[in-house]
């Protein structure tokens, strides 16, 4: 075989060798991304939401990760100005509406975790969410779990209520309650634990994200703001994950 003189060396795609079933993202830094460009915060959210499909598609289709969670609105984000909240809600509604056919075609099941009974969530947003969940319920290639009006503490309260009800109804005995019972009463009882949490924008905190599910997750905190977070940044996160020695409390040396 002759090699052309100017031929660029082919980029070897990164391949994960460590099991990574579930990746979770805290998309953070939309506002700061906009501020740096002297744009209103809303433009940061717009660019951020635009980046979502690209990143989750890379996780699913190129890096073979089956489950992807994305934290988009926390139970504490209600403390923001009304105009920002309604802009964000509208963006997310449009995101679901515009991408539903593509999710269906890819076999991606959409799940939405959070307090969706909240009367402050507009009816049309609830309708769009319900529609996306219903249409993709039989999809089985990938799972996209959107954390919407989500709080880890709220989820644990939800689980506690569910467990108490089962005890009250005689379906469960008090002495039988264990960790598995809690798992079974979370918003998504069938998802595997999170293996890797990625929080963009360099903040070193979890801000009420998946408190139960992160018990043994590896965590990475890339500097990039979410709208600018790209494949190169993602691969850095995956390489970091690949280098970790996960022991789960034991003495395993991989």
Q: Which of 28, 51, 145, 149 is catalytic?
A: 28
Q: Is residue 28 annotated as a catalytic residue, yes or no?
A: yes
Tell me which stretch binds Mg ion (CB under 5 A): 22-30, 145-153, 217-225, 230-238: 22-30
* Residue 77 designated active-site: yes
SS3 36: helix
32 touching ligand IPE, by CB under 6 A: yes
24/163 with CB nearer ligand IPE? 24
**In angstroms, rounded to a whole number, what is the distance separating the alpha carbons of residues 75 and 143?**
23
Residue 54 contacts which entry, ligand IPE, Mg ion, none (Cβ below 5-8 A, type-dependent): none
What order of strands is seen across the sheet that includes strand 218-220? 108-113, 142-150, 67-74, 22-26, 196-199, 218-220
- Residue 88 as a binder of Mg ion (CB under 5 A): the answer is no
136 binds, among ligand IPE, Mg ion, none (CB under 5 to 8 A by kind): none
d(CA 52, CA 84): 19
The torsion of the CA quartet 172, 174, 178, 180, rounded to 10 degrees, works out to 10
Task: Work out which of 21, 42, 75, 77 binds ligand IPE, going by CB under 6 A.
Answer: 77
SS3 146: strand
- Residue 165's binding partner, choosing from ligand IPE, Mg ion, none, with beta-carbon cut-off 5 to 8 A by kind? none
Q: Residues 6, 21, 51, 77: which is the catalytic one?
A: 77
As a dihedral over the C-alpha atoms of residue 30, residue 35, residue 37, residue 40, rounded to 10 degrees, the angle is 80
Closest separation in Å from C-beta 194 to ligand IPE: 15
189 HSE (CA, 13 A, CB side) = 11
Instruction: List contacts with ligand IPE (CB under 6 A).
Output: 26-32, 71-74, 77, 88, 201, 203, 205, 207
Residues forming contacts to Mg ion in the complex (CB under 5 A) are 28
Residues tagged active-site: 28, 77
């Amino acid at each position: 075989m002759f090699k052309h003189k100017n031929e660029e060396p082919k980029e070897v795609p990164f391949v994960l060798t460590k099991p990574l079933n579930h990746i979770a993202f805290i998309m953070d830094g939309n506002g700061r991304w906009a501020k740096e460009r002297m744009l209103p915060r809303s433009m940061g959210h717009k660019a951020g939401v635009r980046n979502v499909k690209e990143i989750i598609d890379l996780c699913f289709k190129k890096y073979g990760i089956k489950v992807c969670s994305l934290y988009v609105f926390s139970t504490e984000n209600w403390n923001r100005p009304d105009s920002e909240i309604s802009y964000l809600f509208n963006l997310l509604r449009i995101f679901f509406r515009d991408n539903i056919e593509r999710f269906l075609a890819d076999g991606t099941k959409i799940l939405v975790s959070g307090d969706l009974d909240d009367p402050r969530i507009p009816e049309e947003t609830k309708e769009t969410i319900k529609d996306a969940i219903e249409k993709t319920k039989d999809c089985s290639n990938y799972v996209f779990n959107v954390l919407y009006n989500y709080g880890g503490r709220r989820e644990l309260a939800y689980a506690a209520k569910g467990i108490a009800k089962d005890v009250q109804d005689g379906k469960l005995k008090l002495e039988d309650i264990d960790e598995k019972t809690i798992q079974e009463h979370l918003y998504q009882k069938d998802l595997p634990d999170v293996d890797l949490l990625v929080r963009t924008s360099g903040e070193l905190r979890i801000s009420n994200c998946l408190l139960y599910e992160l018990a043994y997750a590896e965590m990475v905190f890339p500097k990039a703001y979410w709208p600018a977070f790209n494949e190169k940044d993602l691969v850095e996160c995956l390489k970091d994950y690949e280098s970790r020695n996960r022991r789960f409390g034991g003495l395993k040396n991989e």
